Structure 1
Amino acid sequence: MDIFDKYATIIGRHDKVLEAGTDPFAVRVDEMLSATEAMIGGRRTILLGTNNYLGLTFDPTAIDASVEAARRDGTGTTGSRIANGNYAQHQELELELAAFLKRRSCMVFTTGYQANLAMIAGVAGPRDVIFMDSDSHASIYDGCTLSGAKVIRFRHNDPDDLDRRLARSPEGECKLIIVEGLYSILGDTAPLKAFAEVKKKHGAWLMVDEAHSLGVYGGEGRGVAEAQDCEADVDFVVGTFSKSLAAIGGFGAANHPRFDCLRFCSRPYMFTASPSPASIASARASLRRMANDPNLRAAIWNNAERLHAGLRQLGYTVAAAPGPVAAIRLPDEATAVAAWNRLLQLGVYVNLAVPPGTPNGACLLRCSLSAAHAPAQIDEVLGRFERLSQSLRELATA
């Protein structure tokens, strides 16, 4: 028996995807031309699937800060935060993030994935119960597993179902609710205000992952909780640097007076090398830009409205209301793969999202907007989606 036999079905599905053309899960970017364009397969391609929401990957101040930090502090820390990897910049970024988020304390992690592992497995333990939205990101699922807590899933974005499940939970247990602000596959937002009311009713704790909503939602860009005016009811905030902040890393923040005990109680924090000086420096620069430039949020929302309206006018079914993510529903996996390949041939890169990584078996073309997209680029993209429509009609009648 081969140790990889357990993946035979997945490997078979991947082989069929390869028969249709380019591997959508291993696209090679030959050259980055800007925050919104790249050379892929010898073709100038508009990037519409990068999560570069504020378009800051080429921000000159962030680049200069990154280069200066690498020259000053080296390319890596070679140690965890509790060993030799606790640099001044890590702590300075934590203070700046805490101030921006209006939280008492903040911890910085090496990746956004690790942030969820560390926060969930640090906050919850084997004697606790986690109530998790069923559409949660893989890092949330893995953090729950690592915690050893009892895990109860509730229906996606359904406060009433959460209420019923919490009502059946025994007294005396610590109950942690975990939801996301913006769900990155379909692009829908959580009813956080309603979840907060359920949390208070049952004396639970609430953790919100604002990875895809930071910088985009809220008057100051703190996320969906700010936009829905319920930040005070959110006990723990998790986020990443790899979306709006255009770097790599993650964070957790809270007002709890004992929150910093996670620095010596959360294993993913304790035993992972700390973020590189370059990543921290660029994240700090991008945070300042995000906090002080509301035009970035205005630009991405204008682009989102333009793309969503155009796609619907062309007859596409978009999974959620206008926002930084536009997920287009297609009838089956074969159609989605063919559509993805055709778009790439037309010079537009989007994400192919198929089961098991999608809710309820959905097959999607996932687009993500950027503040750096020019209106003319959005119009060009819509023109290519119009050409895709013709290709899909020909495919359906073949």
Structure 2
Amino acid sequence: MTDAPMPDKPVVREGGTPDLFTKFDPLIKQREDLLATGQQDPFSLVMEKVESPTVAICNGNRTILLGTYNYMGMTFDPDVIAAGKKALDEFGAGTTGSRVLNGTYQGHKECEEALKDFYDMDHAMVFSTGYQANLGIISVLAGKDDYVVIDTDSHASIYDGCAMGNAQIVAFRHNDVEALEKRLKRLPADAGKLVVLEGVYSMLGDVAPLKEMVRVCKEAGAMVLVDEAHSMGFIGENGRGVAEDQGVIDDVDFIIGTFSKSVGTVGGFCVSNHPKFEILRLVCRPYVFTASLPPSVVATAETSIRKLMHGSNKRAHLWENSKRLHGGLRDLGFTLGTDTPQSAIIAVIMPDLEKGAAMWQALLENGLYVNLARPPATPANMTLLRCSLCAEHTAEQVSEILGIFEKSGKAVGII
């Protein structure tokens, strides 16, 4: 996706060669105009030192991290780090091979066993990234005469998985159960159908009504895939996500997730109870044709996943942080993406990109890092500041965050 409209004809450079970058010119100009005002590039921040899951040094200043997806704060867990160091010493830096060739080490199987235990499911398949998990599973499940039904606010990896496959794509209005049901009823009764949903949507932090959605999917004979990237670890009694929290995890056919959020490392996965699931290892191209994760990474993931199985106290503290920050920002007068706190993501809506960038910079200069999100990544052409809370944020840090938002918001004229 791109902000720039496609030109009618490629611009021809001197010498007769079409310039393939012409379609990006509006975006290039927008970026240059923004930087010309003295604004720091919000998408090129360098962290010189990371001290903990919640604090880093940015531009030489101590900065509270509120935009890292490190929901459960596992990146600096001593057991996780020790497991990675041990695997690095024993197995080396990488596998240099695909999982179907030489790239399956003992650690990869142990990581998949941890996922099966965590979700209480029969099968687990680890990918090199969460993006590849969606890309691979969606593209291989639905074929030429099948249908994939997706929410209009779906993550880019879901859209790209649809584009990579040969199925017919049908979109429905965001989180609208009635719209989903209408779309499903229009499809041929005998066609294969896969409905792809997300537990928590990453931009606004809103939760899907999975209980009602899964019901209409099953009534229509559709299989259901739920991406729980932003809910694994802290939503649900056992941290299994929104599907568990809403009581439909046993009715979901596939759960996709990532290691780069609550697990605290990198990688992706799919878990399922489908009896034929294992054949996907031979037909899923992003699994077959990608080098497997380094042994140190799967060791950290396996250790983290097993610790998250006993993370009820962390989950409770994270929910307290979310409620307190959401309520505090609302009381200060900020416009938020949801009426109530629904996840660890709190979106602060900005009037436009210029104000949003100015607010982002003011927060950073005052010691707080958040994500600046802009179209086309955001729904409804919004510019927003996305706050991602961590279970390691203290009550004192949440108070400090609110103080920085108030100071910066008044300076920029947002509140």
Q: Fold-level match, TM-score > 0.5?
A: yes
Match of 2:284 in 1: 266
Q: Give per-residue Cα distances to partners, 1:264-303, cap 9 Å, x unaligned.
A: 0111110000011111000111111110121110111111
The alpha-carbon deviation at position 389 of structure 1 amounts to: 2.3
Q: Give per-residue Cα distances to partners, 1:205-236, cap 9 Å, x unaligned.
A: 10000001000100000000000011111111
The question of whether the paired residues in 1 share the 8 Å contact of 2:53 and 2:73 is answered with yes
Matching residue's letter, 1:383: G
2 CA distance for matches of 1:157 and 1:390? 34
Matching residue's letter, 1:18: L
Match of 2:399 in 1: 379
Matching residue's letter, 2:363: L
The alpha-carbon deviation at position 135 of structure 1 amounts to: 0.3
Secondary structure of the equivalent of 2:144?
A: coil
Give the length in aligned residue pairs.
Answer: 395
Superposition RMSD on alpha carbons, in Å? 1.1
2 CA distance for matches of 1:17 and 1:45? 23
2 CA distance for matches of 1:237 and 1:19? 45
Match of 2:293 in 1: 275
Match of 2:232 in 1: 214
The alpha-carbon deviation at position 381 of structure 1 amounts to: 0.7
Secondary structure of the equivalent of 2:207?
A: coil
Deviates more, 1:88-97 or 1:371-380: 88-97
- TM-score norm. by structure 1 comes to 0.98
Match of 2:30 in 1: 13
The alpha-carbon deviation at position 17 of structure 1 amounts to: 2.8
Match of 2:324 in 1: 306
- TM-score norm. by structure 2 comes to 0.94
Secondary structure of the equivalent of 1:380?
A: helix
Is 1:324 matched with 2:344? yes
Matching residue's letter, 2:407: R
Match of 1:289 in 2: 307
Is 1:58 matched with 2:108? no
1 CA distance for matches of 2:324 and 2:34? 31
Runs of 4+ in 1 over 3 A off after TM superposition: none
The alpha-carbon deviation at position 16 of structure 1 amounts to: 2.5
Of 333, 350, 355, which residue of structure 1 is paired with 2:353?
Answer: 333
Match of 1:75 in 2: 93
Match of 1:172 in 2: 190
Is 1:355 matched with 2:375? yes
Deviates more, 1:350-359 or 1:13-22: 13-22
Identity %: 48
The question of whether the paired residues in 1 share the 8 Å contact of 2:75 and 2:264 is answered with yes
Matching residue's letter, 2:166: G
1 CA distance for matches of 2:397 and 2:104? 42
Match of 1:315 in 2: 333
Match of 1:150 in 2: 168
Secondary structure of the equivalent of 1:30?
A: strand
The question of whether the paired residues in 1 share the 8 Å contact of 2:94 and 2:294 is answered with yes
Of 156, 159, 182, which residue of structure 1 is paired with 2:200?
Answer: 182
Deviates more, 1:117-126 or 1:42-51: 117-126
Q: Give per-residue Cα distances to partners, 1:322-346, cap 9 Å, x unaligned.
A: 1200100111111111111111111
Secondary structure of the equivalent of 2:309?
A: helix
Is 1:342 matched with 2:359? no
Matching residue's letter, 1:141: Y
Match of 1:129 in 2: 147
Deviates more, 1:260-269 or 1:1-10: 1-10
Matching residue's letter, 1:336: G
Instruction: Could you tell me which runs of 5 or more consecutive residues in structure 2 were left unpaired when the two chains were aligned.
Output: 1-11, 13-18
